[in-house]
Chains A and B, each alone.
Chain A
Amino acid sequence: MAVEDHSIIELYFQRSERAIDETAAKYGSYCGTVARNVLTVQEDAEECVNDTWLAAWNDIPPSRPTCLRAYLGRLTRNLAISRWRFSHAARRYSGMETLLSELEDCLPSQNDVERELEREALSAVLRAWVGGLGEDDRALFVRRYWYGVSVKQLSAEAGRTQNATAQRLWKLRRSLKTRLEQEGLFL
């Protein structure tokens, strides 16, 4: 039987390496799915999940997650996106990208505090927008853009055509764009 989350967190606080074993046993499959949906390559996803365990080990304590499942999912997604970006950057770093990247350092950067505030505002607006969606739309948006589930899979789950699902997603993206613009957030 799976160990309760609070017990796993206590193991982290006790600095017991069993914490990682129990986390892997309980959440390995879940985090693996999150990583695979971003990275698509099994080996990369496995490495990413191992990075998740290490990140959790380094973060708890002092962090004490209120929902371990969502916490680990978030860690995995962040790490998977970083890994994806790194591998894509590596493939690009041979020509123009390299030159542009080097020159980017010369551009005056946006004030860090200002950018952080903008990020926080974006996060708050996104949470509120997702919270205001109907149950079905919310599930659709989160499954597609958080879990990275394919349109084909989503269509099968909902008993819809792929065209109908894609159209629904497009409407959701358009709604989000409008909301962001209303809030003065431009990408």
Chain B
Amino acid sequence: MKREDLYNAITDLKDDQILAGEAPLKQKTQFKRSRWLVGLAAALALIVGAAAILPGVLAPKPKDEHLSTNVSPNTPNGPISGTNVLADHPALKLCNLSAAQYPSDLPALTDFVTREELRQDPNLYAGALQKQQEALHASLPAEAPGAEMTSFLNATIPQILSDEDGENRIYSPLSLYLALSMLSETVEGQGRSELLALLGQNDLDTLRAQCASLWLTNYADNELVTSILGNSLWLRKGTNYNKDTLERLARYYYADSFSGEMGSEDYDRAIAEWIDARTGNLLHDQASALKTDPGTVLRLLSTIYLKANWQSPFDEEITDTFHSPQGDKEVTFLTELTEDATLYSAPGFSAVGKTLMGEGQMLFLLPDEGVRAEDLLQSPEALAFLSSLAGREAADKRNGPLTLSVPQFDVSSELDLIDNMQKLGVQTIFRAGAADFSPIAPENEDLSVSRIEQDARVKIDRFGCEAAAFTVVDMTEGFLDPNGLVNFTLDRPFVFAITNAAGLPLFVGVVNQP
């Protein structure tokens, strides 16, 4: 064996190993040790059981190196890079009917800051992001989204997260909104009217502009934040579909259309791989369990994936007791002391926000003693707080030193949403033959929606958070003393939300068992 053989063997490392070495090395993490922490050592000692400093690992563990590279934060960035990853997938190449029509010449983050500048100074991100968002909005045909989604958020959050089963529940309003919007393109008459009413829109034109705006303003794939949305339609081979509708879905919702044998293992696997590629493999098990059957005429899918580090990591990890409905449990808590934190308080709860790279936030809402997390989500004050920046402004605010203790969690849930949709006034589409699905399948008269399901997973550690959700729709035939330190310890069921820079909640959840 010669020296050159070793050179060559290094050249032949795996694709993911090569790509993993492209980005600059991470700075060694410096623990924040403020004078406050020293002064409050005695207070902290009350809750420190055993300190366990573990490295946070949030990187997705992809099973397929080819697919994973496209959701890596280190891929070339731009508002919509990496979206068509599966177009060359052997199982899909044969059946891709209509490819998403991504807009060209959109402003990218790198138009306003170079990657090198960002590496040198992450604080430049916020300014560049603002300029990019302004440029994006200037290029959009309709006003920026916000108010229009409030009614949808206020209706769906209490309805969907109200179950009293003591389980964790996670809901992505944005993913459901996009899935239902695509669905409204496929149906006419009463079916569409009910959907538009829930979506808070008067007509399809406004809805299209709204969805395009939501899609573009929430798409980021750069050095600091990965936030990827994806839409697709899965058609049944042999069924006739309205090509105009497929093209509208490709143009306004950036949805790829595929065709294949419903009920076949290959098609189910292709669908699962499409989901994996757009959700960082975070929902691999759930996607793999998703099956079609020969009676499925159409499947709509909408995905969302978010991965971002905290602007500053938590200081420490400690072990302490979480009081879950199922009994007390020893869990790892992430703790930090902030000298000037904002504590929000409103009837029934108090809350703290932790800022993510890219100006998004994770909000932690702790219900008052005696108030259940599910009940909190029925209160207008909590909903207003979760739904928008304006709602947060309305809450009482106090600033001062605060110790935040959050259980490290990795929670997932599977929500069957048909019953919820019916309670929210969407009914016609679920009755066979009652709704007019001619805009998508003109020759099938006996169609109904047989499944609306959302699978989601959110995990946090010392360094950041990672979250993903997919919504599948199947259509078939037949809260502070300003002078003192506040301990904000989420040691009982709580509510969280992950919001984007504009304050829109991308994920809302109830954690009963971290």
Contact = CB atoms under 8 A, between A and B. Distances in A.
B69 A187 contact: no
B5 A146 contact: no
A143 interface: yes
Given A1-B106, A66-B66, A136 B17 contact: no
Interface string B117-141: 0000000000000000000000000
A139 interface: yes
B273 to A, nearest CB: 13
Given A67-B15, A139-B25, A81 B9 contact: no
Contact of B25 (A6, A77, A131, A136): A136
Given A77-B11, A81-B11, A130-B13, A6 B87 contact: yes
A135 B25 contact: no
A158 B28 contact: yes
A146 B76 contact: no
Contacts of B76: 2, 26
A100 to B, nearest CB: 14
Nearest to B18: A70
B27 interface: yes
Contacts of A141: 21
A142 B5 contact: no
A1 B15 contact: no
A126 B1 CA distance: 14
Interface in A49-98: 64, 66-67, 69-71, 73-74, 77-78, 81, 85
B117 to A, nearest CB: 15
Interface in B1-51: 1-15, 17-28
Contacts of A11: none
A81 B7 CA distance: 8
B18 A154 contact: no
A70 B15 contact: yes
Interface in B97-116: 104-106, 108
B39 to A, nearest CB: 28
Q: B interface, by DSSP: helix, strand, loop or mixed?
A: loop
A5 B80 CA distance: 13
Contacts of B14: 127, 130-131
Contact of A185 (B1, B65, B105): B1
A123 interface: yes
A118 B84 CA distance: 39
Instruction: Determine the interface band of chain A, counting residues with CB < 8 A from chain B.
Output: 35 or more
A67 B17 contact: no
A114 B106 CA distance: 54
Contacts of A67: 15, 19, 65-66, 69
A145 interface: yes
Interface in A7-54: 9, 26, 30
Contact of A130 (B7, B17, B57, B66): B17
A109 B12 CA distance: 24
B408 interface: no
B200 interface: no
Given A2-B76, A135-B57, A66 B21 contact: no
A74 B18 contact: yes
B244 interface: no
Interface residues of B, number: 43
Interface string B289-324: 000000000000000000000000000000000000
A28 to B, nearest CB: 12
Contacts of A30: 22
Q: Which residue, of B6, B57, B78, B80, has the highest number of chain A Cβ atoms within 10 A? A: B6
A110 B84 CA distance: 47
B59 interface: yes
Q: Which residue, of B2, B13, B57, B69, has the highest number of chain A Cβ atoms within 10 A? A: B13
A130 to B, nearest CB: 5
A74 B12 contact: yes
A187 B21 contact: no
A160 B28 contact: yes
Given A78-B8, A185-B1, A143 B25 contact: yes
A119 B8 contact: yes
Contacts of B6: 122, 126, 187
A79 to B, nearest CB: 10
Contact of A139 (B10, B20, B57, B80): B20
Q: Which residue, of B18, B25, B80, B108, has the highest number of chain A Cβ atoms within 10 A? A: B25
B26 A136 contact: yes
Contacts of B87: 4, 6
B88 interface: yes
A118 B25 contact: no
Nearest to A130: B17
A162 to B, nearest CB: 13
A108 interface: no
A1 B59 contact: no
A145 B1 contact: no
Contact of A147 (B9, B15, B22, B81): B22
A73 B11 CA distance: 9
Contact of A187 (B2, B18, B105): B2
Contact of B5 (A122, A157, A158): A122
A66 B5 CA distance: 24
Given A6-B84, A67-B69, A118-B5, A159 B28 contact: yes
A118 to B, nearest CB: 6
B5 A187 contact: yes
Given A6-B87, A70-B19, A154-B25, 13 more contacts: A1-B106, A1-B108, A4-B84, A67-B65, A74-B11, A119-B1, A135-B57, A136-B25, A139-B23, A147-B22, A157-B27, A158-B26, A186-B1
24 contacts: A1-B78, A1-B106, A4-B84, A9-B88, A64-B88, A66-B15, A70-B19, A71-B15, A74-B12, A81-B4, A118-B1, A126-B6, A126-B13, A127-B12, A131-B14, A136-B26, A139-B20, A139-B21, A142-B18, A142-B20, A146-B10, A146-B13, A159-B27, A186-B1
Closest 8 CB pairs of A and B: A142-B21, A6-B88, A70-B15, A67-B15, A157-B25, A66-B66, A157-B24, A158-B25
